[in-house]
Amino acid sequence: MLARYSPSIHYPFPDTTCPDGQDVDWSRFAYVQYVTNAAYLCNAVMMFESLHRLKAKAGGLMLYPRQWESDENLPRETAQLLRKAKEEYNVDLNPIELVNGGGDPTWAESFTKLLIFNQTQYSRVLLLDSDATVLQPPDELFLMPSAPVAMPRAYWLDRTMSAQLILVEPSDFEWARIEAGIANHTSKEFDMEIVNQLYAEDCIAIPHRRYDLLTGEFRNAPDDHRKYLGSTEEVWDPDKVWNEARYIHFSDWPFPKPWIDGGDKARLDRMPECRKKPGSEAEDCRDQQYWLRLYHDFSHRRLVYPDDFGKVDGSSQDYFGTASPPTIRQWRKFSEW
């Protein structure tokens, strides 16, 4: 039965049991990244590197601008990252025409992500927005009951599904619906509004717990986690939340995304506070530590050159807690490679 979302419902984690012990043909599934410019290409390759390092079972598919195929002035670093994704992380590369829906340029090209509905070479695809970190590969989502679309609830909003993570069964029928939605959208409607109009009432609800955590949740007061936890009775436990999380999306407005240098002062002003432990004078800094680890990890992985992508000092590492946080002076932007 398809579940309609509700703030008060605790959705069970997906049942990933294979019937009769049958093997899963993982070649039918793919994690998808869509790329509209060089900066987001870097993020996309970082996402595929993480999935590869964490031994994800499903393959990868990258949608990137077709114009790069014939661009004689394509930067060396761009070509190098495309090659790295294909050769080292076994990602299928699919050149596409960008879908620009007009309106706010910040979001105009986000319509391109909706091309996942047309990737009929796969039985199921899982799109992950690239301004995020994968802690554990969510392979089990591919084994959820069949449905055209599955999405988590945008728990920070009212009655809205999140387009940061979308599980899709591509088909000509659903792609035609998406094309019509793009053609008829208003100037204030973008990818999130279109998928909500078409699927919010009928899609399978992926639990937002574990699968769509915002970094900003670590900044909330201890008694302000009801929307994420789904109840007022459960006590916020940063360790538990961290250990169960698969996918964490960077969202701390107005603090910038982790590949943009916001400055040390902005980071200090925006990071979670340490709090007194109940009945004790000792401080609990776990929220702060996890928040900083997320930003430091992303920054470290973004620092390295393409030839050493995913490595520090020539050896593969898990960056969470294994390397000293970079200073602002050490940060290198993609354009400076």
Q: For 60-69, how does the pLDDT look when each residue is reduced to its tens digit (9 = 90+)?
A: 999 999 999 9
pLDDT of residue 314: 34
Average pLDDT rounded to a whole number, residues 310-320: 39
Residue 320 CA to residue 153 CA, distance in Å, equals 27
Q: How confident is the model at residue 57 (pLDDT cuts 50, 70, 90)?
A: very high
Of the candidates 67, 46, 52, which has an alpha carbon nearest to the alpha carbon of residue 112?
67
pLDDT of residue 304: 61
Residue 70 CA to residue 42 CA, distance in Å, equals 20
Q: Please tell me which residue, 108 or 287, carries the higher pLDDT value.
A: 287
Give the rounded percent of residues in the chain with a pLDDT score beyond 90: 66
DSSP 142-203: GGSPP-SEEEEB-TTSSS-B-SSEEEE---HHHHHHHHHHHHT--TT--HHHHHHHHHTTTS
- Residues near 165 by Cβ (< 8 Å), separated by ≥ 6? 126, 127, 128, 129, 151, 152, 206, 211, 212, 247
Tokens 């620009």 label which residue? 100
pLDDT of residue 279: 79
Are 122 and 170 a contacting pair, CB within 8 Å? yes
pLDDT of residue 326: 41
pLDDT at 197 over 70: yes
Proportion of the chain in helix, strand, coil states, percent, rounded to 5:
40, 15, 45
Residue 65 CA to residue 96 CA, distance in Å, equals 5
pLDDT of residue 212: 98
Average pLDDT rounded to a whole number, residues 266-284: 88
For 153-183, b where at least 16 C-beta lie within 10 A, e where not — what string? bbbeeeebbbbbbbbbbbeeebbebbeebbe
Helix (H) or strand (E) holding 50: helix 38-53
**Among the ranges given (1-10, 23-32, 153-162, 241-250), the one the predictor scored with the smallest mean pLDDT:** 1-10
Tell me the two tokens of residue 324.
């000293």
pLDDT at 129 over 70: yes
Where in the chain are all domains bearing CATH 3.90.550.10? 27-208
Averaged pLDDT of the chain: 85
Residue 182 CA to residue 185 CA, distance in Å, equals 5
Per-residue pLDDT tens for 217-258?
999 999 999 999 999 999 999 999 999 999 999 999 989 998
Q: Please tell me which residue, 248 or 262, carries the higher pLDDT value.
A: 248
Tokens 């060089």 label which residue? 38
Report the DSSP pairing between strands 213-214 and 247-249.
parallel
What are the backbone dihedrals phi and psi of residue 26, each rounded to the nearest 5 degrees, phi first? -70, -15
Q: How confident is the model at residue 281 (pLDDT cuts 50, 70, 90)?
A: confident
Phi-psi sector, 314: left (phi>0), alpha (psi -120 to 50), beta? left
Tell me the two tokens of residue 41.
């290409």
CATH of domain 27-208: 3.90.550.10
The neighbour count for residue 234, using CB atoms within 10 Å, is: 13
- How big is the chain, counted in residues? 337
Among 72-76, 138-142, 189-193, 316-320, which range has the highest average pLDDT?
Answer: 138-142
Q: How confident is the model at residue 190 (pLDDT cuts 50, 70, 90)?
A: confident
